[in-house]
Amino acid sequence: MKITFWIQAEANGKKLDGFTNIATGKTTWTSSSTALSEAAVDGDVNTCFLIDDVQPSKWWRIDLGNYPSYRIYEVKLINTNRTDKSSLMTYNATVRAGNSLEFGENPVCGDQVSLNDTSQDELVFPCILTFARYISIEQEQEVYPLRFCEVEVYADLEFLCEDIINTTEPGVNFASLASRVINMTDFVNGESQINAECTPKLNGKFYVGKTDVSCVFNDTAGNGATCDFEVTVVDVEPPTPTCDNVARITLPGVNYAYIDSFPIIVTDNVDKNNLISRECTPTLHGTFYAGTTVVRCMFKDRSGNNAICVFVFTVTDVEPPTPTCDNVARITLPGVNYAYIDSFPIIVTDNVDEDNLISRECTPTLHGTFYAETTDVTCIFEDQSGNDATCEFVVTVADVEPPTPTCDNVTTITLPGINCVYIVLFPIVVTDNVDEDNLISRECTPTLHGTFYAGTTDVRCVFKDRSGNNAICVFVVTVTDVHCQVSQQKVHIR
Ligand SMILES: [Ca+2]
Ligand SMILES: [Ca+2]
Ligand SMILES: [Ca+2]
Ligand SMILES: [Ca+2]
């Protein structure tokens, strides 16, 4: 920043080493409802402001206006024409200058008024070039009056030839500089016709970054100034990310999805999206397992403004379990027509769920009695995501037990006159664990039913159940020749 002033004309107003009293005619207030606050700035040292009643706190204040900004050099209290010079007027008064309506927040100018000071016609309070809109004079001494006939505030302008730092306007990458920033009221002669020429022009857009500005000011009286300064526009707006929830399905055979790009859109008032850093937890790109994952991303533009977005990434298991259901073959338990099966060699796997989390429902129910036959079993397996698979298999229980025949020996005698008997029924009893006796085939040698001659005949029978299990029994038929008879008769033996 560089400023050069030149002043050609003398001021019309009251001047003090280049500073001018700017208080005259400005708006004033006081704590008193009866005192005339404006009497202190009417330019007449014979009209005075006075609060002389007993009050715990008395104050007077002036508003110099918020534009232009004044740089206060000093405040002067004129206290002429006092009738009693020892009245301790303004004793302990404090002068402050600043931009706050709360007196206590503004810097103090000079010292409090001492006892010695109260006898002076003029009291001066240096303000060390404080920029101020308000000047206040307060007094806490309730028994002393607050009196002054004129308050003079000596100031020059805040000539705002300063480097300017501004922030971006919402949604754009520039700031439009208000013209007040570089206006300079013609302080010297009270006119306000300033010709300002700035390069670049100041009523336009200043983009993010630094811009060198050079201005020349001239008033009609030939006073002028040049000012070179920098305008810095800072991006204060965070990026705007749009993070939608994402849903995917598991890849074949595995419990995850692999994602290499997310539909995240991020814009910024200044930076292109490839200049906006992003940091996500968990990291984008990669393996996301079945289930929901909350992803939190932070986006940061080059100026460090950041924005966070959170979204949910859902990977759904769409793959049914894979059961392996082999056929089952068992044999009958001893003496009965069934097998008892309490476990089946079923293996089920899933891309996501452990096998103990996969429900199974079988018809008929697994575990229990399976009879000697073939049974079709259908099982449905369902994983935790509701994907199901069916498998069918056959349970075969084989009858491996032969029939149990009882073949008693047969003893009989010949009938009179013949040397043989005709036997039609043998006392053979056969049982089987599975088959009724009428389903058990029998084959005897010699054939049962027929003529058995006197003597002994060995009979051998083979019994076979439907499963081909066979049993043999052997017995002897003994026919005793008692006497011969003419005719042959049938003998029934039971
Ligand atoms: Ca006056
Ligand atoms: Ca930004
Ligand atoms: Ca699955
Ligand atoms: Ca059998």
Domain spans in the chain, listed from the N-terminal domain onward: 8-157, 164-234, 240-316, 322-398, 404-491
CA distance 92 to 264: 67
- Distance (Å) from CA 461 to ligand 4 centroid: 16
**Number of neighbouring beta carbons within 10 Å of residue 439:** 12
- Residue 452 Cα distances to 218, 227, 322, 416, angstroms: 158, 150, 68, 15
Give 384 Cα–ligand 3 centroid separation in angstroms. 7
Give the Å distance between the CA of 476 and the centre of ligand 2. Answer: 115
Q: Which residues contact 403 (CB under 8 A, 6 or more apart)?
A: 430, 431, 432, 435, 437, 440, 463, 464, 465, 469, 470, 471
Name the burial class of residue 199, with classes exposed (0-12), middle (13-18) and buried (19+) by CB atoms within 10 angstroms of its CB: exposed
Classified by CATH at the fold level, domain 404-491 comes out as Immunoglobulin-like (2.60.40)
Ligand nearest to C-alpha 273: 2
CATH class for the region spanning 240-316: mainly beta
pTM here? 0.54
Residue with tokens 């049982």: 431
What share of the chain has pLDDT > 70, as a percent? 85
Q: Which pLDDT value is given to residue 458?
A: 94
484 C-alpha to ligand 1 centroid (Å): 181
Ligand lying nearest the CA atom of residue 440: 4
How many A from CA of 438 to the centre of ligand 4? 13
Write the class of the CATH domain 8-157: mainly beta
Which of 164-168, 371-375, 489-493 comes out lowest in average pLDDT? 489-493
Ligand in nearest proximity to the CA of 43: 1
Q: Which ligand is nearest to the Cα of residue 405, counting in written order?
A: 4
155 pLDDT higher than 50: yes
Which ligand has its closest atom nearest to the C-alpha of 77? 1
Q: How far is the CA of 80 from the centre of ligand 1 (A)?
A: 10
437 C-alpha to ligand 4 centroid (Å): 10
- Provide CB contacts within 8 A for 43, sequence distance 6+: 24, 25, 150
Residue with tokens 């027509």: 337
Rounded to the nearest whole angstrom, what is the distance from the C-alpha of residue 87 to the centroid of ligand 1? 19
How many whole angstroms from 133 Cα to the centroid of ligand 1? 21
The CA–CA distances, whole Å, from 461 to 228, 441, 445, 455, 492 equal 132, 10, 6, 19, 20
Strands 374-382 and 359-363: antiparallel
Residue 225 confidence (pLDDT) above 70: no
pLDDT for residue 18: 60
pLDDT digits (tens, 9 = 90+) for 330-360: 999 999 999 999 888 899 999 999 999 999 9
- Ligand closest to 238 (CA) is 2
Domains 240-316 and 322-398 share a fold: yes
- pLDDT, position 7: 40
Q: Which CATH class is domain 164-234?
A: mainly beta
CATH number of 322-398: 2.60.40.10
